[in-house]
Amino acid sequence: MPDLLLDPRPEGLYCPAGGFYIDPAEPVAQAVVTHAHGDHARQGNARYHVARAGLGLMRERLGEPAAIEAYDYGEAFTLGEVQVSLHPSGHMLGAAQIRMEHAGNVAVVSGDYKREPDPTCAAFEPVPCDTFVTESTFGLPVYRWPPMTQVIDELLAWWDDCARRKVSAVLFCYALGKAQRLLAELAPRIDRVIYLHGALLRLTELYREAGVALPATQPLEEHARGAALAGELVLAPPSAAGSPWMRRFPNASTGFASGWMQIRGNRRRRGYDRGFVVSDHADWDGLVHSVRDSGARRVYVTHGDGHALVRYLREHGHDALPLAALGA
Amino acid sequence: MRRFVQLYAALDRTGSTTAKRDAIAAYLHDAPPDDATWAVYVLGGGKLRRLASATELRQATREATGYPDWLVEESYAHVGDLAEAIALLLPSGASGDDAALHVWMEDRLPGLARLDPATRVAQLRSWWQALPTDEVYLLNKLITGALRVGVSRRLVVQALAQWSQLPTDLIAHRLSGDWTPGAASLAALAQPAEDDAHRAHRPYPFFLASPLEAPVESLGERDKWLAEWKWDGIRAQLMRRDDQAQLWSRGEERLDGRFPEIEQAACTLPAGCVLDGEILAWDGAASAPRPFTALQKRIGKLKPGAKLLAETPVRFMAYDLLEQDGADLRERPLRERRERLATLLEGMPPTLLLSPAADTDGWAALTQLREQSRERHTEGLMLKRLDSPYRVGRRRGDWWKWKVDPYTLDAVLIYAQSGHGRRAGLFTDYTFGVWDRGHLVPVAKAYSGLDDAEIARLDAWVRAHTLERFGPVRSVEPEHVFELAYEAIQRSSRHKSGVAVRFPRILRWRTDLSIRDADRLEDLKRMAEG
């Protein structure tokens, strides 16, 4: 029997009973979008349904004319024959899990999520369901995140060391979500200004407009270079690494904040001086616990190489499959 | 051990050799000598042997985490380093134990080796429980004996020189051979005066050649240079001191008893001399050595039996004289050292040979002579400046290796496995096949030769075109052809294909070729006979 709630199609994950797509890759009539990252929120759809907490970011991404319906977390609305509601996924500001109910059947597409506390967004909320779709970006038990306080300690020690050596501390991080989370985590620990690459300015402002407490930041002036930036912390997107933009720092120590920095080989290969283990995705324990918390009879795994997670879940009594198997 | 973990972290975080040298020197100033001496030992590549098997480490990991075997293996394949994978899999421990480095190295770890396997596994688990992740990692690295942190032996020598205010060459010499760690031996390293009783058992640091990349004519006048064949054997120093003869490998490992015919012949040399040369497999009356693969039969044998000695005899091809009558000749010009060496070897048994000069007038004639390298079973030519001293380590300018171009073959990528170290988590270890009656049979594995962009592209392709998984290995759709370079092909009964390809590496990704264009096994077999 075909699944009436989930049907992976080339355009994206389709909900047949509701007539909508989740995070479609190609333009469709009805799109429910989990969060504002570029590979999930794309322009060109006729109508969008998103969480209200992320509305500002969505407008920025999708443009002013886009037809966007915003909903509070937990607020039920109807698409086709399906009752839909959005629930916090803890991934970033406005990120949502999508709960779909049809004929007594409940499916939850968790989108990108994490279980660690994040001062910039609402915490992940376990939603009971029959079918649970989970990501598995970090689907091996070598990925277990250290406490954020420990990472911030390391980050501050690195900044102090750079200040002593009179070099700039350039921290690369994703411009949307990760950068603002780091700023918010740093806020109670520092009383100094943090410099921002141009790509972070508008997005950071949108977080402030949404009421997220962030420390003092300053755009990196066009002409600022050399000694003026010695000992300063600068946040920049990973794309700035190795670009002409970097030439303004004759002496800089570089860091990268990412879950991938957990592995020494990744740190060494990418050539950053320092790696800081910070991820907005669930770690292994987060994935396994979330599957357990959902109480789902059927689990689909998507994103990344979910092979190990699927096998582990199956050995622990879950009916788990790769999401791709559903379409096959 | 915490101070050493901090040093490791400092070394791991910087790519600058100056910063690394400073960090090691600072540690030597800070740390108690009985710890510092062990840091020098392990950073210089020293390891304790056979402490625990990989199987025992895996078993302890399964017991400590409750994860199944396959998940530990997948994690290892992803991380590319067993010590690190284990540290990341374990629940993070308390920092309840800060035993000194020398306690680990002299007491705890050697003690581990003496336990029975079950107790050893329990001991590992109890240590892991009392240490935070970074210390578990370092402990595992000490146990598996692969503590690589981008520190060369030369860098350790430089840091010791900086710390002790002594010349690097003197430190290098004092560290060579079987230097044993201990507070006293660290102090001896820093002693201004040389204690001759110790020198008797120490080889000289080897002088290493650099590959010649510029045209040979750029070296200037031909008659300022000695040209020799580049022998394809084991580089070694033959020491004849006091009443004994010793062979030392380039890894500064004693080869006692492995090549008895050379040790025996060396006893006819006058005492107090040290020769630099190459160990080669060489049959009695033959005019050229046998290929390296023949020598491989001898390499692993600690005590070769009479049959092996008769089947695969070896010779020592000497090309330099570093010491004579107990005097260090390394500062004398090569011209003089060669003359003394030639005189010394006159009338010696044929097991001790003088590496002949490849005499030609001018570079053009030498270039022509180099074409004979393969038929003479050599790798090419060596070019050495006649007025140069015998230097320490790899210094460019006086010794060049001028190798012949490798053979090549075109083969199809059929298996991929994830790599190690900075290639961890990427599919970078490849197996290649050639055609045999309509099937692709594996003939070579290669790990290097692609740039980072090509690796990333191929990695993504492998993930999307996996046919089957065999643990960490994936078979992939036959689609991509690569040009491989190699040094030789031999018939081999140990390989399913029937041939062994020596030192294969990727030259180019042949996107212009289809898999039908790849080489055929029968052609490789013909090469092996030729």
User: Cβ atoms within 10 A of the Cβ of B127, count?
Assistant: 22
**Residue B182, token pair as written in the block:** 């201990």
Q: Is the dihedral of CA A50, A56, A59, A65 positive or negative?
A: positive
B385-391: average pLDDT: 95
B401-411: average pLDDT: 88
The rounded distance, in Å, linking the Cα atoms of B63 and B86 is 12
**CB distance from A314 to chain B under 8 Å?**
no
Cβ–Cβ < 8 Å for B281, B313: yes
- Contacts with A309 (C-beta within 8 Å, 6 or more apart), sequence order: A134, A136, A139, A287, A288, A301, A320
The rounded distance, in Å, linking the Cα atoms of B502 and B88 is 36
Query: Does A311 sit within 8 Å of B80, measured CB to CB?
Result: no
The rounded distance, in Å, linking the Cα atoms of B259 and A242 is 53
Q: How far apart are the first and last CA of chain A?
A: 13
Q: Is the pLDDT of residue A100 over 90?
A: yes
Task: Please give the distance of CA B470 from its chain centroid, rounded to a whole number.
Answer: 29
What pLDDT band is residue B394 in, cutting at 50, 70 and 90?
Answer: confident
Q: What is the pLDDT of residues A151-163, one digit of tens each?
A: 999 999 999 999 9
The rounded distance, in Å, linking the Cα atoms of B294 and B292 is 5
Alpha-carbon distance A112 to nearest alpha carbon in chain B (angstroms):
21
- Contacts with A90 (C-beta within 8 Å, 6 or more apart), sequence order: A113, A114, A115, A116, A118, A121, A122, A123, A124
- Cα angle A15, A279, B128 (rounded to 5 degrees) comes to 125
What pLDDT is stored for residue B471 in this prediction? 76
Cβ–Cβ < 8 Å for A91, A75: no
Q: Which residues of B touch A265 (CB under 8 A)?
A: 79-81, 419-425
Mean pLDDT, chain A, rounded, equals: 94
User: Residues B20, B141, B230, B403: which is the catalytic one?
Assistant: B230
Provide the 8-state DSSP code for B519. -
Same fold, A7-142+281-327 and A148-276: no
Q: Is the pLDDT of residue B63 over 70?
A: yes
Task: Please give the distance of CA A61 from its chain centroid, rounded to a whole number.
Answer: 15
The rounded distance, in Å, linking the Cα atoms of A170 and B402 is 44
- The single residue listed with the structure tokens 């030769």 is B449
Residue to substitute from A162, A263, A273, interface B, most B β-carbons within 10 A: A263
The region, left, alpha or beta by phi > 0 then psi within -120 to 50, assigned to residue B8 is alpha
Ranked by mean pLDDT, which of A149-163, B209-223, B458-472, B473-487 comes out on top?
Answer: A149-163
Query: Does A268 sit within 8 Å of B89, measured CB to CB?
Result: no
The rounded distance, in Å, linking the Cα atoms of B333 and B398 is 11
- β-bridge partners, A163: none
Query: Does A144 sit within 8 Å of B422, measured CB to CB?
Result: no
Q: Is the pLDDT of residue A234 over 90?
A: yes
Q: What is the pLDDT of residues B104-156, one digit of tens each?
A: 999 999 999 899 999 999 999 999 999 999 999 999 999 987 777 778 888 89
Instruction: Tell me whether residue B230 is one of the annotated catalytic residues.
Output: yes
Q: Is the pLDDT of residue A1 over 60?
A: no
Query: Does A271 sit within 8 Å of B424, measured CB to CB?
Result: no
**Residue A208, token pair as written in the block:** 């402030």
Residue A135 class from Cβ within 10 Å (0-12 exposed, 13-18 middle, 19+ buried)?
buried
For B61, phi then psi, to 5°, come to: -65, -45
For B526, phi then psi, to 5°, come to: -65, -40
What pLDDT band is residue B27 in, cutting at 50, 70 and 90?
Answer: very high
Q: Give the start-to-end residue ranges of the domains of chain A.
A: 7-142+281-327, 148-276
What pLDDT band is residue B200 in, cutting at 50, 70 and 90?
Answer: low
The rounded distance, in Å, linking the Cα atoms of B116 and B122 is 10
Alpha helices in B393-513 (DSSP H): 452-464
What pLDDT is stored for residue A69 in this prediction? 97
The rounded distance, in Å, linking the Cα atoms of B86 and B503 is 32
Measured between CA atoms, the residue of chain B closest to residue A309 is: B71
Domains in chain B with CATH codes? 2-144 (1.10.3260.10), 207-401 (3.30.470.30), 407-529 (2.40.50.140)
Residue to substitute from B13, B14, B73, interface A, most A β-carbons within 10 A: B13
The rounded distance, in Å, linking the Cα atoms of A307 and B252 is 46
Q: What is the pLDDT of residues A167-208, one digit of tens each?
A: 999 999 999 999 999 999 999 999 889 999 999 999 999 999
Alpha-carbon distance B67 to nearest alpha carbon in chain A (angstroms):
9
What pLDDT band is residue B166 in, cutting at 50, 70 and 90?
Answer: confident
The region, left, alpha or beta by phi > 0 then psi within -120 to 50, assigned to residue B406 is beta
Query: Does B81 sit within 8 Å of A265, measured CB to CB?
Result: yes
Q: Is the pLDDT of residue B461 over 70?
A: yes
Query: Does B89 sit within 8 Å of A141, measured CB to CB?
Result: yes
**CB distance from A315 to chain B under 8 Å?**
yes
**CB distance from B422 to chain A under 8 Å?**
yes
CATH architecture, range A7-142+281-327: 4-Layer Sandwich (3.60)
What pLDDT is stored for residue B195 in this prediction? 55
Q: Which A residues in the span 174-233 are in contact with B, Cβ-Cβ below 8 Å? A: none
Q: Which B residues in the span 457-486 are in contact with A, Cβ-Cβ below 8 Å? A: 463, 469
**CB distance from A122 to chain B under 8 Å?**
no
Query: Does A263 sit within 8 Å of B71, measured CB to CB?
Result: no
Three-state secondary structure call for residue A290: helix
The rounded distance, in Å, linking the Cα atoms of A145 and A130 is 28
In which order are the strands placed within the sheet that holds A233-236? Answer: A217-219, A194-196, A233-236, A168-172, A252-257, A274-276
Q: Is the pLDDT of residue B530 over 60?
A: no
What pLDDT is stored for residue A56 in this prediction? 96
What number does CATH give the domain A148-276? 3.40.50.10890
